[in-house]
Amino acid sequence: MRKAGALLYDVLSRIRQEIKPGMSTLELDGIAEKLIRDKNAVPSFLGYRGFPASLCTSVNEQVVHGIPSGEVVLREGDILSVDCGVILNGWQSDSAFTVE
């Protein structure tokens, strides 16, 4: 469990660094999936009950579980919540953060 948590911490830290105006939430999702799979882990949200992404990305008034989209482009001053889960060696870890 510790390794799954450490991987998730690394993924979310990297995603936080990548967030910038002009970037779509779908781009962030692609980065997250690559980071997770590069460590031989599985994005736990992807495919869960049909969910189509590795991240939940909620912008501004969207409360939770937003679906990443190429049409949702971040702007200066947006509030973004990012939620992610990973499965590594059978252990699942899930965490989220919000930035402005």
Listed in sequence order, the residues at least 6 apart from 57 whose beta carbon sits closer than 8 Å to its beta carbon are 25, 28, 29, 66, 67, 68, 72, 80, 81, 82, 83
**Mean of pLDDT values over 2-17:** 97
pLDDT of residue 36: 98
- Residues facing 93 on adjacent strands: 86
pLDDT (tens digit per residue) in 38-93:
999 999 999 999 999 999 999 999 988 999 999 999 999 999 999 999 999 999 99
Q: How many structural domains is the chain composed of?
A: 1
59 φ/ψ angles, rounded to the nearest 5 degrees: -110, 130
Give 12-39 pLDDT, tens digit per residue: 999 999 999 999 999 999 999 999 999 9
CATH number of the domain residue 20 falls in: 3.90.230.10
Residue-number span of the structural domain to which 17 is assigned: 2-99
Instruction: State the pLDDT at residue 63.
Output: 85
Q: What is the pTM of this model?
A: 0.94
